[in-house]
Amino acid sequence: MEAEQCGEGSRTGTDPADEAVIAEAAELLKAGETVAFPTETVYGLGADARNTEAVEAIFEAKGRPSDNPLIVHIADRAALGELVTEVPPVAAALMDAYWPGPLTVVLPLRAGVLSSRVTAGLDTVGVRMPDHPVALALLAAAGCPVAAPSANRSGRPSPTLAGHVLDDLAGKIGGVLDGGAAGVGLESTVVQVQPDGSVAVLRPGGITAAQLAAVAGEAAVTGVSAAPDFTPPQEAAEASSRPAAPDAAGDGSPAPRAPGMKYAHYAPRGWLGVVRGSSPASAAKTAAGLLDAARGRGEKTGMLLFEEHLPLYPAGAADCVVSLGPLASPETAARFLYAALRRFDEAGATYILAEACPETGLGSAIMNRLMKAAAGCVIDAE
């Protein structure tokens, strides 16, 4: 089946399972082009991880800061032997449990096998095996490790539909494989096994801390404390492209060990704040007052909330109200979060508030993304 043209330099297959379309996309990767493809988390923008020119095309298309490493995707666990020098026993156990799936494991890199642009010069690399038939078929057909961050402009909400990719990147990439809506909706959990065998969570995601603990032991799973950095990624990318002054010492900030640990991400075009209260009613009262004041200033307002809290708000509290579904169903909220943030762009919202949620289970990943999208802006109802 011929691929259908959909924007300058971009393509999508009308049948995501069509082998001919997947083979065409694989040939683009082999030729050093970039291809967006579906995974179970979000759409990724892939390139041959061994080809520096191809990897640089990812950074250029996304406007991504050069010190933000990329995750490498593989279709066969046997490929690890060519990429890394060691797989600790705990890491192997996590792979047994959650590969293919939304889990990225940071491992010691084998020298000389990948472009240094993939790892931002680090001696480690994040690797995952996606749980999506189109992604696995593409990776197998390409026959190379594929570096793939989310297929969006850096700082924007990640794409969970092929249309989101085209909204951000049409004309900037080689092609798009349309595999329908992403299932998990949030990027993979990124972990690194420490020398003592403990598991450090570098980025929360589709695999929860409880799921990790079921394999590694509850006491062995820890988060990584790091000062948050909410620099807009385009600003960081522009700064990194400018030559440094002869006596410049740099900002002393090392490259993050995993994507999502540095810079603002996932943001809608309008201003976004996260409202937190001792109760849903107190949070709703504060949010409603702020929305009313913003509307009085001439802002077009938006509210992101959970379904059962809608009655706590006055009718027409915001120009655009988007529900993430029931608070008791974080899977639903995770699946639709990025699409919801893009809805505010479609509505032209300039002032947006979002309800906080408990940071347990998937709620930890949801709040991680909301805080990045809001550049750390929290409004405390009390």
DSSP string, 281-302: HHHHHHHHHHHHHHHHTTPPEE
Residue 118 has a pLDDT of 97
Q: What is the pLDDT of residue 7?
A: 33
User: Which of helix, strand or coil describes residue 31?
Assistant: coil
Max Cα–Cα distance, the chain, nearest Å: 61
Beta bridge partners of 126: 71, 106
DSSP 8-state class, residue 8: T
Amino acid at 143: G
3-state SS assignment for residue 29: helix
Question: Which residues make beta-bridge pairs with 353?
Answer: 273, 303
**Structure-block tokens of residue 269:** 């075009």
Burial string for 317-339 (b: 16+ CB within 10 Å, else e) reads bbbbbbbbbebeebebbbbbbbb
Integer Cα distance of 26 and 140 in angstroms = 9
Query: Would you state the pLDDT for residue 260?
Result: 55
- Please list the residues that pair with 305 across neighbouring strands: 323
pTM: 0.87
Alpha helices in the chain (DSSP H): 19-30, 52-62, 80-83, 89-98, 116-119, 133-142, 162-169, 209-216, 233-241, 280-296, 330-347, 362-373
Q: Taken in order 80, 83, 87, 91, is the CA torsion positive or negative?
A: negative
Q: What is the dihedral of CA 248, 202, 267, 287, to 10 degrees?
A: -120
Q: Which amino acid is at 51?
A: N
pLDDT digits (tens, 9 = 90+) for 329-343: 999 999 999 999 999
pLDDT at site 64 = 87
Q: Answer whether the bond into residue 246 is a cis peptide, omega within 30°.
A: no
Q: What angle do CA 225, 231, 232 make, to 5 degrees?
A: 135
CA gap 192, 195 in Å, rounded: 10
Q: Which residues of the chain have pLDDT under 70?
A: 1-17, 224-264
